[in-house]
Amino acid sequence: MSYIQQILFIIVAVVATWLFAKKVIQIRRNIFLGKNEPYNDRPAERWKNVLLLAFGQKKMFRNPLVAILHFAIYAGFIIINLEVLEIFLDGILGTHRLFYQFPLYSFLINSFEFLAIGVFLVCVVFLVRRNFIKLRRFISRELDGWPRSDANYILITEIILMTLFITMNASDTLLQERGYGTYAQHATGNFSFSQWLHPLLNNVSDTSLVIVERVCWWLHILGIFAFLNYLPYSKHLHILLAFPNTYYARLEPKGKFKNMNSVQNEVLYAMQPELTPIDASPPEKFGAKDIFDLSWRNLLDAYTCTECGRCSAACPATQTGKLLSPRKIMMDTRDRAEEVGRNINSNGEFKDDGKSLLHNYISVEELRACTTCQACVEECPVAISPLEIIIELRRSLIMEESNAPQEWNAMSSNIENNFAPWKLSPDERDKWAEELKQVE
């Protein structure tokens, strides 16, 4: 590799790394705009979640065929990119196939090629599923526009990257066979799949073949850098965030609701005023109206969302035609966090924009449609909880805005006055039993 290529590579690598790091820092800041909550207890269980859910993709295997395909594309892409280490070092040092003398080198590249073909085929299958078979969860209204294109872009990019990888190996090994220049000095032998492209390249001159190899090499590494910087703007950020998200997942039983101490105290003091502290002050806010009122863990959930739609496919409200879609809840939360982040970038701090997550992004009708059945939480492959956000927004609606359906208000009033959901005084509850005695 010439010094010019070497210098150019270093410049590209530094710029790509800087841009990626800058965006990651902004996302981290956005996540920690949420309220602080501790999630460091029971580390053994948390690491178990990481191994089973993030690495092992346990929940995906409820549908074995799709799980195997997804695991192939996930494992294949991650493992193949180990070769990026060699490409990266070659670019920095100006070398070619730096590790070619490593004893297992041919075995590893052959394995990478096998995985590359697997990734290629699975990406084609997924493109067909999304654009031709059109499964219901892939054609929902919240995916219109960018979200649907995003999924296609990433699949097409992976197909291109795998094609470049195989073509680069084919041209490289063919130049080795011809004994051309430095390629002959780094003999690796043919590889499993790329050798089948040799007949297509046999009529290409040595000089042209070098150009093919170099172009594939450059496009492959530039594609990796582009992919790296595309991730923070894409739902595919879950490739990175699935691991911390599963580690910091709530470990309580899924049916257990997180109560607000301030709410419990308000009820306690209303029923037993003598327990009210002299210096007691009312809570600042009940529930959540904007992302600042949510936990940082909720915002991490939003950025981790894969938009796979398994939550919405399991949601009874979604399936019966209600406006609610748990996937949209997560997408809206992430969009609002990004909007707040841009506001901070522009002003140095957050300036009130007159918007909030509640009402401007997520409507009252969506929140009221939730049955709190936990199906969305149970189905998510990376331990996301749309229900936590829904509950916090509903608390704000009811306790801050007194915005609840008449039926809910009547029930709450009955509980407050009669200690039961029904409009019967406590003294009259056993009258039905007296009537039974009269019948006997």
pLDDT digits (tens, 9 = 90+) for 365-392: 999 999 999 999 999 999 999 999 999 9
Q: Name the 3-class secondary structure at 350.
A: coil
What would the mean pLDDT of 325-331 be, rounded to a whole number? 95
User: What number of residues does the chain have?
Assistant: 440
Report the alpha-carbon distance of residue 250 to residue 296 in Å, rounded: 12
Return the structure tokens found at 280: 């007691």
Gyration radius from the chain CA atoms: 29
What would the mean pLDDT of 220-238 be, rounded to a whole number? 91
Residue 279: predicted pLDDT: 67
More confident residue, 303 or 183: 303
Q: What digits encode the pLDDT tens for the residues 60-88?
A: 888 888 888 888 887 777 777 777 888 88
Annotated domain spans of the chain? 3-31+63-247, 261-403, 405-440
Least confident of 58-62, 86-90, 258-262, 321-325: 258-262
**CB distance 401 to 77 below 8 Å:** no
Question: Percent of the chain at pLDDT above 70?
Answer: 96
Return the structure tokens found at 73: 């594309």
Report the alpha-carbon distance of residue 359 to residue 366 in Å, rounded: 10
| CATH top class, domain 261-403 | mainly alpha
Torsions phi, psi for 417 (to 5 deg): -95, -35
More confident residue, 108 or 32: 32
Query: Nearest 5°: CA angle at 427, between 421 and 429?
Result: 50
What would the mean pLDDT of 280-300 be, rounded to a whole number? 86
